[in-house]
Amino acid sequence: MSKENNVEGTLVDLHEEWLREMESTVWGKGEIRSISQMELLGMKMFKAIEKDTPTEGLGAELPEVLKEIAKVGLQGGLTPRETAMITFSFRPFLNRINSNVSLERLNQLLDEMGIFALEHFFESSDNIIHAQRQDLLELSTPIIKLWEGILALPLIGTLDSKRTQEVMEKLLNAIVNQGSKVIILDITGVSTVDTLVANYILKTAAAVNLLGAKLIITGISPEIAQTMVHLGVDLGNIVTRAVMADGVELALALLKKKIVDHNKE
């Protein structure tokens, strides 16, 4: 049997031992095997440590394996602690995987691996949260084409300055792309408006006007009206209507259009 086959056989044995250790101490019986790709990643880790243990840093192969472990762990619902435990679970096997490197360096390498895995875990988590936030923003702030030249933007939920800015930028882009002339901003589903949000609305109205369109705000509740008065917010020349139906009627009138009920003719 060749030396290469002996090494491969040793890694397979260590891998099986690692899996049994994980099942009995870290994950509970059978749980580790239910996590997609984790068995394969364990073997990849053994091979990377055996093949590539640099004097400094993580080398070429280890970072890629650690990224995969962090990704699979995150997708499998693992916590940062559990992800770190997977990385540190290789500590008892380090000297047996690569006996040509000092134990001190191997332990240092493992610490670097743990930090790298956690950093990538949090980075991936932040990316997922950002993507979910964008999806939620799309769902909660749909820009609806009511009629040729008329757009409606119904806002729902809590408005903070960041969300308001993103929504208004999205609205202005839609006006340009669709050539709309009248925009209905409905805030019936908004509970509170602070000074920053009100100022963004005022700036948006000015920007809409510069684009040659007209902004109509509908659904201002008595509470929000009182808040705006208390904050000293002056809507100036912005047209407002109590309900969205009135806003739609005005929008049609501005475009010299109207809805005709043929049943009354």
- Specify the pLDDT at position 63: 77
The enclosing domain of 240 has a CATH number of 3.30.750.24
Same domain, 134 and 155: no
Same domain, 156 and 257: yes
Whole-angstrom Cα distance, residue 105 to residue 50? 13
C-alpha pair distances (Å), 218 with each of 155, 210, 225? 10, 21, 12
- Specify the pLDDT at position 10: 81
Same domain, 85 and 149: no
- Specify the pLDDT at position 99: 66
Same domain, 73 and 160: no
Same domain, 152 and 133: no
Same domain, 45 and 102: yes
Q: Residue 36 region, left (φ>0) first, then alpha (ψ -120 to 50), else beta?
A: beta
Same domain, 31 and 62: yes
Among 138, 171, 192, identify where a domain stops: 138
- Specify the pLDDT at position 1: 40
Stated pTM of the model: 0.52
C-alpha pair distances (Å), 217 with each of 56, 182, 220, 241? 61, 11, 8, 6
Among 113, 138, 163, identify where a domain stops: 138
Same domain, 222 and 255: yes
Residue pair 197/159 in contact by the 8 Å Cβ criterion: yes
Same domain, 26 and 127: yes
Among 138, 163, 193, identify where a domain stops: 138
Can you give the residue range of the structural domain that contains 36? 3-138
- Specify the pLDDT at position 4: 45
Count of structural domains within the chain = 2
Same domain, 124 and 159: no
Same domain, 13 and 118: yes
pLDDT tens, the chain, 265 aa long: 444 444 445 888 888 888 777 776 655 544 444 454 677 777 888 887 777 665 555 666 777 877 777 777 777 777 777 777 777 888 777 777 766 666 677 777 777 777 777 777 777 777 767 666 665 555 556 888 988 999 998 887 777 777 778 788 888 999 999 999 999 999 888 877 888 888 888 888 889 999 999 999 999 888 888 887 887 777 777 899 989 999 999 999 999 887 776 666 5
Same domain, 7 and 111: yes
